[in-house]
Structure 1
């Protein structure tokens, strides 16, 4: 019978399976809690759990708010609004698409199919890719969450906005010159049709929250582990070296693949690193991480990904360092 299921039914079944797996793990942990307490009752683990819970509790409301807002906009406005907003001239369309990310936010994983759909509707690839980079990085939810993560530091919020917008626009303009020589798979829209607006909204919320929350938990666990278990002199040694700190935070952002609505809280928890290194983390992550690289390779082809991914990483790190030196 599974062959006759619709995509919506399959996604619902997958979500139910995930829910039962989580429920089963919780039941096992509750049943074994007396056996586990004696093994986890340690000062270091208590510190780790405190930092981990603090990061998750602080960032979850912004993650939920970002997912809801992005889902509402994706359901009601869609990529057709972007297509009408951008000028026909790609040189002018690139910065307009970057600014459109302020009003039309979206999560990183949704930006790839949206960019593909824009291209299939006739939008220049460089313009669509600019929107792909800007939408998860410069929207109001991300900026507000950054302000909460760095209280009393409006310069950090401004630096993140400017560096992220600069990254998306520079990559767009560079792709206008370089992209014509790079073969791409035919862009294809991947949005499901036939479902009502309410069902599409619920599907988007469920997918984005489950996807992003998993990476948030992983990132919080790793950040808490760095602050707790890595010897302080090692962290200080890495953080004290300007180039090594920037490279470390860029690699961390690429591998951990956090949601942009929550990554500022993880960055703020890494207190040993400079503000510029933290900015690199917050700019690189929404622009390019391991999941985005794999999605782009599948959507546009491996040849495209091998050119586009290094370009984005280079421009993102360079933009963050330049803006961090200027504003921070």
Structure 2
């Protein structure tokens, strides 16, 4: 579902939380949370436009992001604990005495207000870093293949660029290797400052710390392995 349904990473947390509340297993919901903003048709089309004549970059992004989402879903299935999650309100179905429009409005209002505050805090931190880091810092890491991968992965977390636009940012980083730029595009839509803050507010800090750390490691490994083969 995450491959075919366009979804912004800012909304992925509340959507995943709603899926869990409606009975979807957390492992499947978290796989959707990671895949929907990373490999939907809009993002893949933007990647193709940002890297004209390089379909291998689009394929590498698709495979690396899909592999990361699947691995994280499996990891949660076997290693995840419900105690790491904040209690969720189980959806008991549509209440006959209330209109569907009213129920939809109530759910939308809850998710929007609950997520908005954490999203703003994360975006403020990301914007501050984006302005403060000089270009010379980027150039200092571009010479080492391994350091460049780690640096662009960390940069993706801190800059918090929207997944529909991160391919154009990656394309502009011409001093870095294709694998490093792939890591930037794979890590960014799954882990960044605003998403960590949003996940902490939605699922709890215990979840956000563990999940974001594991996702970063898996995303970097998948980017390095798949990028090393295709790029």
Interval containing the TM-score (normalised by the shorter chain): 0.7 to 0.9
- Structure 1 261/240 Cα, relative in aligned 2: closer, same or farther at 3 Å? same
Question: Per-residue displacement from partner, 1:110-142 (whole Å, max 9, x unpaired)?
Answer: 000000000000100010000000000111110
Offset at 1:195?
8.7
- Structure 1 183/157 Cα, relative in aligned 2: closer, same or farther at 3 Å? same
Q: Does 1:265 align with 2:171?
A: no
Offset at 1:242?
1.7
Offset at 1:303?
1.1
- Structure 1 117/295 Cα, relative in aligned 2: closer, same or farther at 3 Å? same
Structure-1 residue corresponding to 2:215: 312
Offset at 1:144?
0.6
SS across alignment from 2:52: coil
Structure-1 residue corresponding to 2:98: none
Instruction: From 163, 176, 179, give the equivalent of 2:64.
Output: 163
Q: Does 1:323 align with 2:226?
A: yes
User: What are the within-5 Å matches in structure 2 for residues 22-41 of structure 1?
Assistant: none
- Structure 1 123/181 Cα, relative in aligned 2: closer, same or farther at 3 Å? closer
Structure 1: runs of 5+ lacking an equivalent? 1-99
Structure-2 residue corresponding to 1:132: 33
- Structure number with the bigger relative contact order (C-alpha 8 A, sep ≥ 6) is 2
- Structure 1 286/172 Cα, relative in aligned 2: closer, same or farther at 3 Å? same
* Runs (4+) off by over 2 Å: 180-183, 193-197, 234-237
Structure-2 residue corresponding to 1:292: 195
- Structure 1 188/323 Cα, relative in aligned 2: closer, same or farther at 3 Å? farther
- Structure 1 127/315 Cα, relative in aligned 2: closer, same or farther at 3 Å? same
Offset at 1:180?
2.6
Structure-2 residue corresponding to 1:154: 55
2: CA distance, partners of 1:196 / 1:307: 32
2: CA distance, partners of 1:108 / 1:236: 29
Instruction: From the CA coordinates, give the structure whose radius of gyration is larger.
Output: 1
Structure-1 residue corresponding to 2:3: 102
Instruction: From 88, 113, 124, give the equivalent of 1:187.
Output: 88
| Normalised TM-score (structure 2) | 0.81
1: CA distance, partners of 2:103 / 2:201: 25
Structure 2: runs of 5+ lacking an equivalent? 91-100
- Contact 2:5–2:41 (CA<8 Å) still a contact in 1? no
Q: How many residues align?
A: 208
Offset at 1:236?
4.8
Structure-1 residue corresponding to 2:152: 249
- Contact 1:254–1:284 (CA<8 Å) still a contact in 2? yes
- Contact 1:288–1:309 (CA<8 Å) still a contact in 2? yes
CA RMSD of aligned residues (A): 2.9
- Contact 1:116–1:188 (CA<8 Å) still a contact in 2? no
- Structure 1 327/254 Cα, relative in aligned 2: closer, same or farther at 3 Å? same
